[in-house]
Structure 1
Amino acid sequence: MRGTDLALSALVIGLILLSLAAGRSFLPPAALWQALSAGPSDGGLLIWGLRLPRVLTALAVGAALGLSGAVFQSLLRNPLASPDLIGITQGAALGAVAALLAGGTTAGLRFDTVAGAWAGGLAATALIFALSTSRRSGTEPRRMVLYGIGCGVTSAAGVEMLILRAGDGAAGQAMVWLAGSLNGVGWPEAALAMGAALPLGVAVLLGHRALDRMELGDDLARALGIRVAVLRPLLIVAAALLASGAVAITGPLAFVAFVAGPMARGLHRRGGPELIGAALIGAALVLGADLAARLVAPAAVLPAGLYTAVIGAPWLIGLLLGRIRRGTL
């Protein structure tokens, strides 16, 4: 692990400890260590029952979103091709909301919610790639971004239609979930987030070498021994599942997947994909956003998605302005 990744790891560890200590009741280091040592049944309920599952969920969801964004941006060689900009997140949200409302309530996380999000995310991915791929020119990244925006708008309209047809209670809870939040997250959500993110994340990290070669172009990647026709669909499916699973657990967290990959490249000062760095930055963004949600306005309990949008929207505007100045947009 390089120095930049070590620094990012230290940042994530620091945010984890701060998230465990901070809240309406701030725990100094000695009290935090005592609560961690005490366990869930002996005075450590605040940490073990409330804060620790929330922190682990934020860690898994952020890493999953960072990895997913880095894979899509690298495969399509386009910084705009992240799942939250090309409609995959919105497709996952449509599937998750459909599953939530079909169950009659949005209280608590069920596995069918995750299955619905996975189905919606994969369906959106398949549709976008089918529309933007031709036999003559292959997959066109710009075309994919445009089709993805259209797919995202259509999926968002589908979500609104489902909510309008739902009862007041279920619709209100669905709207809160769509804002992106870790409020109410417990051990079931943490276990599901870690259980989904770890195997998919490991699979993506194992494909780092192939992803690095494919970023140079399909012909050169094939010349270097990379089985592009096999590995590209596998990486795309894994990245779509990572993003969709994260959406199912916390709701959409805007711009995390979009920002993490380019930030990692900038910090490492190289052109290739930085998957570990993207995962660490994604985790840090979600941990920081949730920490801000709990500390900046604790009475209002603003969603973490609001704070990720505050970071990501200016980044998107800056990226677009830079590409306009260089004549690449």
Structure 2
Amino acid sequence: MRFLGLLLLLLVLAVLSLSAGRVWLGPIALFDALMDPEGAGRMIWNLRLPRLLVGMIAGAGFGLAGLTFQTLLRNPLASPDVIGVTQVAAFGAVAALFLGAPVVLGAWAGGLAAVAVLGWLAAHPRHGIETRAVVLQGLALAIFAAAGTEALILRMGDSSAGMAMTWLSGTLNAAGWAEVRRGIWLAPLLIPLLLAGRVLDRLELGDDLARALGLRVGLLRAGLGLIAALVAAGSVALCGPMGFVALAAGPVGRLVAGGRPSPLAAMLTGAAFVTLADVLARALAPAALLPTGLYTALIGAPVLILTVRRMARR
């Protein structure tokens, strides 16, 4: 029932997203617009629908990547936006924009580089990856990547620098069908993480017990970590780094799933976070069109605090 309620909430938010904006559409007007591609329908099909789909795809990717890293490292703080994966992916995307290369390739290269650097820094000759060290070293990596991104932006022209700064705040304002098609390429990467619920559940028990259950812990951690990094970086390439989505989706999804790591719940939660933030961005200030990432932080921070407090009581 909890999963059904979460799915219903996402559907309601999707309808609100199609209705919200400078021109609000009621249920009947929205239905007519969806049926008629002219007039208001042109606004729905060319602007609001692709914006909704890009936000949901990116939110689902952030949620899945966040839960995966948090479970692999057995730390609720080990989301890609805390351990530096998101920031290095953003640096790679801005570098690609600076060089005239595809943004998604730069973001993917940055995400993979972040995982490789973290694995090298946190590796222990006897105990493997020190999970607690990943968070601390990831914070340093995130600061370093943010400084590099700022240095690149200072070397850009005024128009490119303005576009990069807006994108870095996390925005869906320029989302169109081209971004939707790029988002579809994330589907093959989302599927392995979505099907990895049982593996994540066993990995959370500890390395020794997971090995006793027949899992190849090192190989699974490396493989799932690389896929999660690609998913997070691909989501960054779609709409920029949106704060708190990956960090909050995992704990909220666990609450929905009764305390267990649930990729489906994390995916739906991430998509709902971004959709709700975008609805607020267009409902509260339709003329300003503030970045959606601003509202994900405003929503995610208190939700994360309440969720962690409730989990601590239980």
Structure 2-normalised TM-score?
Answer: 0.94
Q: CA deviation at 1:312?
A: 3.0
| Counterpart residue identity of residue 61, structure 2 | A
Tell me, what secondary structure is at the counterpart of 1:44?
A: helix
Confirm or deny: 8 A CA contact 1:57 1:194 kept in the other structure.
no
Q: Would the alpha carbon gap of residues 285 and 148 (structure 1) be closer, same or farther in structure 2, given more than 3 Å must change?
A: same
Partner of 1:228: 217
Determine which of 25, 28, 31 is the counterpart of 1:27.
Answer: 25
Alignment of 1:269-280 (within 5 A): 269-270=258-259, 272-280=260-268
Displacement of 1:315 in angstroms is 5.4
* Other-structure match for 1:287: 275
- Other-structure match for 2:300: 312
Distance between the aligned counterparts of 1:175 and 1:33, measured in 2? 36
What is the aligned partner in structure 1 of residue 183 from structure 2? 193
| Structure-1 residue corresponding to 2:7 | 9
Note closer, same or farther for the CA distance 1:220–1:139 as it changes in structure 2 (3 Å cut): same
1:48 CA drift (Å): 0.9
Question: Are 1:101 and 2:98 matched, yes or no?
Answer: yes
1:205-255 Cα shifts (integer Å, max 9, x gaps): 222211111111112112112222322211111110111011111011001
1:162 to 140, 152, 161: 152
User: Which residue does 1:69 correspond to in 2?
Assistant: 66
Deviation at 1:22, TM superposition (A): 1.6
Equivalent position of 2:172 in the other structure? 182
Q: Which amino acid aligns with 1:22?
A: A
Q: 1:134 aligns with which of 105, 108, 124?
A: 124
Could you tell me whether the CA contact under 8 Å between 1:56 and 1:194 is conserved in 2? no
Structure 2 gap segments, 5+ residues each: none
| Alpha-carbon distance change, 26 to 13 in structure 1, aligned in 2, over 3 angstroms | same
SS in 2 for 1:302: coil
Partner AA of 2:74 in structure 1: R
Distance 1:238 1:23 in 2: 35
The AA in structure 2 aligned to 1:275 is P
Counterparts of 2:252 and 2:310, CA distance in 1 = 15
C-alpha displacement at 1:319, in angstroms? 8.2
Q: How many residues align?
A: 313
Distance, in Å, in 2 between the alignment partners of 1:30 and 1:73 is 43
| Partner secondary structure for residue 185 of structure 2 | helix
Q: Distance in 2 between matches of 1:233 and 1:19?
A: 37
Write the deviation string for residues 36-68 of structure 1: whole angstroms up to 9, x where unpaired: 122x46862111111110111011000000000
CA distance in 1, matches of 2:263, 2:310: 24
Kept after mapping to 1: 8 A contact 2:252/2:307: no
1:313 is displaced (CA, Å) by 3.4
Query: What residue identity is the alignment partner of 1:278?
Result: A
1:208 corresponds, among 184, 194, 197, to 197
The answer to whether the Cα contact below 8 Å between 1:57 and 1:193 also exists between their aligned partners in 2 is yes
Assess if the C-alpha contact under 8 Å between 2:61 and 2:267 holds in 1: yes
Q: 1:298 aligns with which of 264, 270, 286?
A: 286
Range with bigger deviation, 76-85 or 220-229 = 220-229
Q: Any conservation in 1 of the 2:61–2:190 contact (CA below 8 Å)?
A: yes
Equivalent residue, structure 2, for 1:245: 234
Tell me, in whole angstroms, the C-alpha distance in 2 between the residues paired with 1:308 and 1:45. 28
Q: 1:321 to 1:132 in 2, by over 3 A?
A: farther
- CA deviations over 1:156-185 (Å, ceiling 9, x no partner): 000010011111111111111111000011
Rounded Cα–Cα distance in structure 2 between residues aligned with 1:57 and 1:261: 20
Give how far 1:137 is off: 2.0
Structure 1 residue runs without a partner (length 5+): 104-109
Residue 314 (structure 1) shift: 4.1
1:124 pairs with 2:114: yes
Normalised TM-score (structure 1):
0.90
1:288/1:43 Cα in 2 relative to 1: closer, same or farther (>3 Å)? closer
1:125 deviates by 1.2
Question: 1:55 matched to which residue of 2?
Answer: 52
